[in-house]
A and B are shown apart, each in its own frame.
Chain A
Amino acid sequence: MSELPPIPRPEQAPLPPPPGQRRIVLPPHRQRARRPWSVRAREWIRRNLFPSPGGTLLTLLSAGVMGIMLAGVIWFVFFDANWNVITANRWLLFAGSFPREEAWRLWTSIAVVMFLIGLAYGTWSSLGRRDTLFVVLTGAFVIFLMAHGGASIWSSIWFLVAIGLLYVGYYLTIWMPRETSTRRAWQQRIVGGLLALSLPIVLIVLMANGGATTRQFDGFVLNLILAPVGIVGGLVVAIPLALGRASTMRTIKWTCTAYIEIVRGAPLLGWLFVALFILTDVIGDNLIINTMVVLAVFTGAYMAEYIRGGLQALPSGQYEAAQAVGLTKLQSMQLIILPQALRISIPPIVGQAIAIWKDTTLVTIILTLRELKGNADSAIAQSEFIPDRIEAYVFVAVVFWVVAFMMSRVSQRLERAQGIGER
């Protein structure tokens, strides 16, 4: 201990390591990481916050602005705001006029959907620690939303059941034998089929045997039902449209182009009025179903353009190679072109999905039912909460942001999962 070996000086170039025993020489930035954290923190601050006089000025300026804003937010959230408007109206915000005694139907739907999400995760991806955290936080949020009066214990139990089912679904798919790609393909087919059936399942759970009527779908629940239908229905409409628009046959091409341009030419609100005033004569009186159709038609037009972009981004060599291997046109579309084109168009498609999720609030206007935003208004309209209208809107904004953010996270995950074969 008394005699430490002399510290080697870096002036001399290090000798090449003798063959067989390689010494690991860390690059300078890694060596720095070994120093005590206080030194590293000081260096980080200097490098990132005060790199130059200009940088220092920018740091101070933005710190000032952020400080003022943060102070305002903290003041509002903790001292100024009266969050009772939310807690007193949780059910109204969440489910509106959905009959309260049928809450178990909502919970069962949530549990079923969670189970399906678990299955899907196990089949196509893997759960990470961050996902778990996200699930727990979102779940807590749902409890908070749905808990009302003395039922909060039941909400917690239902919540635990739903989360439990998510993990059951996940481990079920992990545990199922799927070493060979045939089995994996079957698993994907089955889970995909279940996912496709999820909407009918949910609707049956909600409505069958004296449950709610479609008129009673309301609040956040309505958004949660309409948005997935719009998104998935839109994709189903969009793929043939995109292929049609890229077709060499003129009638098909022109029909698809006309569809896309006409639908994109009017705002969603306009099409929702079509659902209200025209489709009621064409399809039927059920406004929810008409709205679903309109949402799918509307989303489809936008998504078709994104998918067409993906189709055009593919090098022509891919088409040629598929032909040269002997695939028919249909096969090369299904096996070669579409998988790649869809991967390319994931980011804009998810962008459109987020947009349509938020735009389902527009349905309020035509439903004249009280839907999430409408309920915020009715919550506000209660005379005791009149001064607290801003809290209600902030709350609604946060709910929408959380879901939109979750969608964008899922998008990134999708891109990574699909990016294996990236060129």
Chain B
Amino acid sequence: MTDELTPVDIIAESAGPKEAAVAQPAANGEGEVYSPRLAGSKDIIVTEHVDKWFGDFQALDDVSLRIKEHEIVVILGPSGSGKSTYIRCLNRLEEHDAGRIVIDGIEMNEDVRAMAAIRSEVGMVFQQFNLFPHLSVLSNITLGPQKVRHMPKLEAEALAMQLLERVGIPEQADKFPSQLSGGQQQRVAIARALAMQPKIMLFDEPTSALDPEMIKEVLDVMQELAESGMTMIVVTHEMGFAREVADRLVFFDEGALVEQGTPEHFFTNPREERTKLFLSQIL
């Protein structure tokens, strides 16, 4: 329904008095293209001058970022640099204090319906999986489609089985999360997010809580997802994934966006000293 409207239209329409101060209407598709395959894609996520405070601590400092549809963005940065806070602002698990966030043409504001619309477009995968331990694997996945999208039960279950096939564990459908390994739980969590048929997937350190031998199975699923054309924003320390799959790397430090570029740029010739220092520590 909002497909016909470009982000800019919506911004122009819904820019209230608060946003008006920082509004800098930009031409459609102004965001830079970091990969030839993204040529002609529209900007699906637009964030401008986003600030976030936790009490006296500034977690996000004037972050502006535009992300294209189908783009794979990997966010790097030391712990406490605001990268998790940033992606949590994108589906309003955190409320930003200043600036503007527009997801697929929907302005993020106090409106509950806008928030619901955004959450149904944006799937999220957490570091700690956060599966619902009292529900079976299948029910974990069907819950969203049934309760939010009002999908009939049988249809939701068929969809869930299809997604479990996709992440490679259809045989675990009737088990409970605690009976699965960490890698399997994380794959269920990915299936659960995909069941809402989102346009954007957020990954908040999806492999950080996993044993080394399970990291690959999760990364493989994520890579397959990337190849299928999903828009993905991934906070991770997996440099192999960043190098191979990402269209763009973004480096955060102390709440600010310090540097962004292609993987090639980052791994051969980073510009900023802080980026160089961070990469030298992590590689």
Residues of B within 8 A of A322 (CB): 132
Task: Please provide the chain B residues from 109 to 134 with a CB less than 8 Å away from any CB of chain A in the complex.
Answer: 116, 119-120, 122-124, 126, 128, 130-134
CB distance from A73 to the nearest CB of B (A): 45
Contact of B128 among A317, A323, A324, A336 (CB under 8 A): A317
Q: How far, in whole Å, are A320 and B130 apart by their CA atoms in the complex?
A: 8
Contact of A324 among B119, B134, B136 (CB under 8 A): B119
Contact of B130 among A317, A331, A339, A421 (CB under 8 A): A317
Q: How far, in whole Å, are A341 and B134 apart by their CA atoms in the complex?
A: 11
Task: Pick from B54-62, B71-79, B143-151, B214-222 the stretch touching chain A.
Answer: B143-151
Contact of A182 among B91, B123, B153 (CB under 8 A): B153
CB distance from B155 to the nearest CB of A (A): 13
Q: Is the CB–CB distance between A325 and B177 below 8 Å? A: no
Q: Is the CB–CB distance between B119 and A326 below 8 Å? A: yes
Q: A182-B153, A320-B126 are in contact. Are A325 and B144 (CB under 8 A)?
A: yes
Q: Is the CB–CB distance between B130 and A318 below 8 Å? A: yes
Which residue of chain B lies nearest to A343 when distances are taken between CB atoms in the complex?
A: B134
Q: Is the CB–CB distance between A323 and B126 below 8 Å? A: no
Q: Is the CB–CB distance between B126 and A421 below 8 Å? A: no
Q: Is the CB–CB distance between B120 and A421 below 8 Å? A: no
Q: How far, in whole Å, are A324 and B129 apart by their CA atoms in the complex?
A: 12
Q: Is the CB–CB distance between B132 and A318 below 8 Å? A: yes
Which residue of chain B lies nearest to A423 when distances are taken between CB atoms in the complex?
A: B133
Q: How far, in whole Å, are A321 and B131 apart by their CA atoms in the complex?
A: 7
Asked if B93 is at the interface (CB within 8 A of a chain A CB), the reply is yes
Task: Please provide the chain A residues from 284 to 334 with a CB less than 8 Å away from any CB of chain B in the complex.
Answer: 315, 317-318, 320-328, 331
Residues of B within 8 A of A339 (CB): 134
Asked if B267 is at the interface (CB within 8 A of a chain A CB), the reply is no
Residues of B within 8 A of A258 (CB): none
Q: Is the CB–CB distance between B193 and A324 below 8 Å? A: yes
Asked if A335 is at the interface (CB within 8 A of a chain B CB), the reply is yes
Asked if A109 is at the interface (CB within 8 A of a chain B CB), the reply is no
Among A181, A182, A321, A418, the one with the most B-chain Cβ atoms within 10 Å of its Cβ is: A321
Asked if B178 is at the interface (CB within 8 A of a chain A CB), the reply is yes
Q: A324-B193, A325-B148 are in contact. Are A340 and B133 (CB under 8 A)?
A: yes
Which residue of chain A lies nearest to B195 when distances are taken between CB atoms in the complex?
A: A325
Residues of A within 8 A of B133 (CB): 340, 421-423
Asked if B22 is at the interface (CB within 8 A of a chain A CB), the reply is no
Report how many A-B pairs have Cβ atoms within 8 Å. Answer: 73
Asked if B192 is at the interface (CB within 8 A of a chain A CB), the reply is yes
Q: Is the CB–CB distance between B144 and A327 below 8 Å? A: yes
Residues of A within 8 A of B123 (CB): 324
Q: How far, in whole Å, are A331 and B126 apart by their CA atoms in the complex?
A: 20
Contact of B178 among A327, A340, A418, A423 (CB under 8 A): A423
Q: How far, in whole Å, are A366 and B148 apart by their CA atoms in the complex?
A: 52
Asked if A420 is at the interface (CB within 8 A of a chain B CB), the reply is yes
Q: Is the CB–CB distance between B148 and A327 below 8 Å? A: yes
Q: Is the CB–CB distance between A325 and B192 below 8 Å? A: yes
Q: A317-B128, A325-B196 are in contact. Are A421 and B148 (CB under 8 A)?
A: no
Task: Please provide the chain B residues from 149 to 205 with a CB less than 8 Å away from any CB of chain A in the complex.
Answer: 153, 176-178, 192-193, 196
Which residue of chain A lies nearest to B126 when distances are taken between CB atoms in the complex?
A: A317
The size class of the interface chain A forms with chain B is 20 to 34
Asked if B39 is at the interface (CB within 8 A of a chain A CB), the reply is no
Instruction: Give per-residue flags for A408-421: 1 if the beta carbon is below 8 A from chain B beta carbons, else 0.
Output: 00000000001011
Q: A320-B130, A421-B133 are in contact. Are A327 and B147 (CB under 8 A)?
A: yes
Task: Please provide the chain A residues from 382 to 423 with a CB less than 8 Å away from any CB of chain B in the complex.
Answer: 418, 420-423
Task: Please provide the chain A residues from 323 to 372 with a CB less than 8 Å away from any CB of chain B in the complex.
Answer: 323-328, 331, 335-336, 339-340, 343
Which residue of chain B lies nearest to A328 when distances are taken between CB atoms in the complex?
A: B116
Residues of B within 8 A of A343 (CB): 134
Q: A421-B133, A422-B178 are in contact. Are A326 and B196 (CB under 8 A)?
A: yes
Which residue of chain A lies nearest to B146 when distances are taken between CB atoms in the complex?
A: A335
Contact of B116 among A317, A326, A423 (CB under 8 A): A326
Q: Is the CB–CB distance between B176 and A323 below 8 Å? A: no
Among B132, B143, B178, B193, the one with the most A-chain Cβ atoms within 10 Å of its Cβ is: B132
Q: How far, in whole Å, are A318 and B93 apart by their CA atoms in the complex?
A: 12
Contact of B147 among A182, A317, A335, A422 (CB under 8 A): A335
Which residue of chain A lies nearest to B144 when distances are taken between CB atoms in the complex?
A: A325
Q: How far, in whole Å, are A320 and B91 apart by their CA atoms in the complex?
A: 10
CB distance from B59 to the nearest CB of A (A): 16
Residues of A within 8 A of B177 (CB): 421, 423
Which residue of chain A lies nearest to B141 when distances are taken between CB atoms in the complex?
A: A325
Residues of B within 8 A of A323 (CB): 91, 93, 119
Q: Is the CB–CB distance between A335 and B143 below 8 Å? A: yes
Q: Is the CB–CB distance between B134 and A340 below 8 Å? A: yes
Residues of B within 8 A of A (CB): 91, 93, 116, 119-120, 122-124, 126, 128, 130-136, 143-144, 147-148, 153, 176-178, 192-193, 196
The 4 closest A-B CB pairs, nearest first, are: A321-B130, A317-B130, A421-B134, A324-B124
Q: A320-B126, A422-B178 are in contact. List 14 more A-B contacts (CB 8 A).
A: A315-B130, A320-B93, A321-B131, A324-B119, A325-B143, A325-B192, A325-B196, A326-B196, A328-B116, A331-B147, A336-B132, A340-B133, A340-B134, A422-B133
